[in-house]
Chains A and B, each alone.
Chain A
C-alpha cells in the first residue's frame, strides 16, 4: 500500500468522526502546549538570567594576564626568569590576540588601585582607577553619555557609577558617627543610602586623587585632571547597581604620572608600567559560545586567562534541571492525553470491525490493517501538535501581556525558541503513534469471518 493511500484513508476516518477527532486532538494539543510552554519558560528564564548575568559578569570577555603572574608553581615570580619573559603580555601578543577569529576588541586595562577621587570643593567618593587606551573604550561596548576621550595628558574618563555618591568627607564622617551611636536608626540609614545615590555633574570638572603615603599622616595628592568624558549607563543596568561600580579611566601616560605622584609602586604594590608590556588585557569576543575557543588560542601564547564561563555553565546546569522537570510535566500531560486516544481508537476499532473484515477479505494483510490505524493515530497526533503550537503561542502571548501590564516593561520576557516547535510536534506524533499501537494490533487481529458475519 502507498503512503498516500494510508494518509487518505486515515484523513477520511478522522474527518468522518469529527467529535472523537476533536476530543483526542484537544487532549494532545493540551499536552503539546504544556511541553512547549514549559520548555519555553525554562529557556526564556535561562536566557533572561544569562542576559542579566552578562551585564554583571561580562561572560563575553576574557581577562588576559602575563603567564608569570600567578602562573608558576611556587607562587613567587622572578621577573627576569626565562618563564616570566616568555609569559610577558607584550604589544606583539596583543596584536596577535586582536587578529584572532571572533575577537571583537582587545584592550589593555591595568587597575592601579581603589582610591578617593576629590572634586575641587573637596567632595569625594572612591573609584577604581584603570589605565587603558581611552580611544578604544567604545570598542568594549561603552558609549559616551557626555564628552569623549582626549589625547591630552591629565584628562580622565569616568563611568556612570563614578558620578554618584560624591559627598563632603566631614559630613559623611558625621553621619557615620551618628550611626555608630544609634545603629538602628532607619532614618539615618536611609539618608546614607540616598547620599550614595546622589548624582553629581562632573563633566569638564577638575578632579584629583589622594593616597596615604608610607609615612604616617602624610597624604599624597595628584595634580588636578579634567573630566573629558562620562560613559553612559550600561544596558540592563540600573542606577542602584551603578553606584557599586565606580571606575575612572586614564591613559597610560596619565597613569604613569599618577603612579609617580602617588608613589603607587611603593604604597600599594602596583607593578610599574613598562612600555610595550601590559599587566592585563580585556578581550571582548563576538559571542559567548566562542569564548572557550578564543581562550584556548590565547593560552597558546603563554598567557594566563580568566573568564566567567564557569558561572554560565553552572547556570546552564541549573536550568537543564528546570527544563527536564518542565519536559517531564509536559510528558505527563501527554500521557494522560494518550489514554483518551487509546480509548477512542479502541472504540473506533470495534465500530469498524465490519469494515476491517471486508478489507481483510479483499486482501489487506495484518501489516496493512495495523499501519492504517497507526497512521491514523499519528495524523491525530500531528493535528493535536499543530493546535498545541497555536495554543502555546496564545498562552505565551497572554503571559507576556500580563507581565508587561504588571511591570510596565516594554520587553517581552517569554519567547518560544524555534527548536521547541518541532520537538513539541514530535512528542505529539509520538504520543499518537504509541497510543495507536494497541488499537492497531487489536484491529489487525480481527477475525474477518466473524467481522463480516450477519446475524
Chain B
C-alpha cells in the first residue's frame, strides 16, 4: 500500500547541508493505522510532506498504491493526491466562505463530479462523523472538534488509499481528542482506510497498534502491541 525505500532528505543551510531524514525504509499495508511519533525537529513533518508529494526527497523512493510519486510532476502529483491521498490537519484548514457540505465536497469538485453525486457522498460522511444537521452551516459556526470532524469527512470523500493526519488532536481538549481518535479508529475499522497519524504525543500514538518513532532523522519501530482502545492490526 505504502512503501518508503531508503528515503533521505537534506536541507541546504547556507553552504552546508543538514540531513533531516536518513535512509528511512518502512511499509504500511492497507487498513493499517500507524502513528509516526517524534519530538519537535525530529523530521516527522518533513516525512509527512514527502509522503504527500508536497516535497521532493534528496534520495529514495515513495510508492503509494504501486506508483512512485517521486518521479511525478506537479500536475501528476495534484491528480494523484486528488484520488489517492486524504489529509487531516492540526488546524483543520477548512475554507471559511464555504458551508460544511461544500468544504467536504471540495476534493470532488476538482474531480469534476456532478453536484448531485457530491452532495450524496458528503451527506453520508456527515452522518458518519455525527454532523448530519450541520451541512449548511459555515465552519466558523462550529466548535474545534466539529471542525475536525468536517476535516475528517473531507479527507474520506474521495475514498483515498491513505489518509495523512498531521497532529489531528493538537488543537483540541482531552475530551474532544478522545472523540476524534475514536472516530478515526471507527473509520479505520469500518472502511478499512489506512491512516498515518503524525503526532508528538505518546498518548495519541498509544491508540494505534504500530508506532514508528523518528529520532534525529532515523526511524525506529516499536514492537507491535495492542492499542489502548483496540485497533485493527
Q: Number of contacts between A and B (CB, 8 Å)?
A: 60
Pair B78/A364 contact, Cβ less than 8 Å: yes
- Residue of A4, A361, A362 near B115 (CB, 8 A) is A4
Pair B112/A1 contact, Cβ less than 8 Å: yes
Mark each residue of chain A from 429 to 455: 1 if its CB lies under 8 Å from any CB of chain B, else 0: 000000000000000000011001010
Contacts of A368 in B (CB 8 A): 110
A358 within 8 A of B: yes
Pair B97/A365 contact, Cβ less than 8 Å: no
Mark each residue of chain A from 357 to 378: 1 if its CB lies under 8 Å from any CB of chain B, else 0: 0111111111110000000000
Min distance, Cβ B57 to any Cβ of chain A, angstroms: 14
- Residue of A13, A362, A366, A449 near B81 (CB, 8 A) is A362
B143 within 8 A of A: no
Question: Cα distance A12–B109 when bound, in Å?
Answer: 15
Closest to A361 in B: B87
Pair A449/B49 contact, Cβ less than 8 Å: yes
Which among B55, B110, B111 has the greatest number of chain A C-beta atoms within 10 A?
A: B110
Interface residues of A in 1-60 (CB under 8 A from B): 1-2, 4-5, 12-13, 16
Known A362-B87, A363-B78, A363-B81: A1·B110 in contact at CB below 8 Å: yes
B3 within 8 A of A: no
Contacts of A367 in B (CB 8 A): 75
Closest to B90 in A: A454
Min distance, Cβ A162 to any Cβ of chain B, angstroms: 78
B136 within 8 A of A: no
Contacts of B49 in A (CB 8 A): 449
Question: Cα distance A367–B55 when bound, in Å?
Answer: 20
Task: Count A-side interface residues using an 8 Å CB cutoff.
Answer: 24
Which among A354, A358, A362 has the greatest number of chain B C-beta atoms within 10 A?
A: A362
Question: Cα distance A367–B49 when bound, in Å?
Answer: 22
Min distance, Cβ B200 to any Cβ of chain A, angstroms: 15
A194 within 8 A of B: no
Question: Cα distance A361–B53 when bound, in Å?
Answer: 9
B224 within 8 A of A: no
Contacts of A354 in B (CB 8 A): 93
A355 within 8 A of B: yes
Pair B106/A16 contact, Cβ less than 8 Å: no
Interface residues of A in 319-367 (CB under 8 A from B): 354-355, 358-367
Q: Could you list which residues of chain A lie within 8 angstroms of chain B, going by C-beta atoms? A: 1-2, 4-5, 12-13, 16, 354-355, 358-368, 448-449, 452, 454
A-B complex: 6 closest residue pairs judged by Cβ atoms = A363-B82, A365-B78, A449-B54, A363-B110, A365-B75, A362-B107
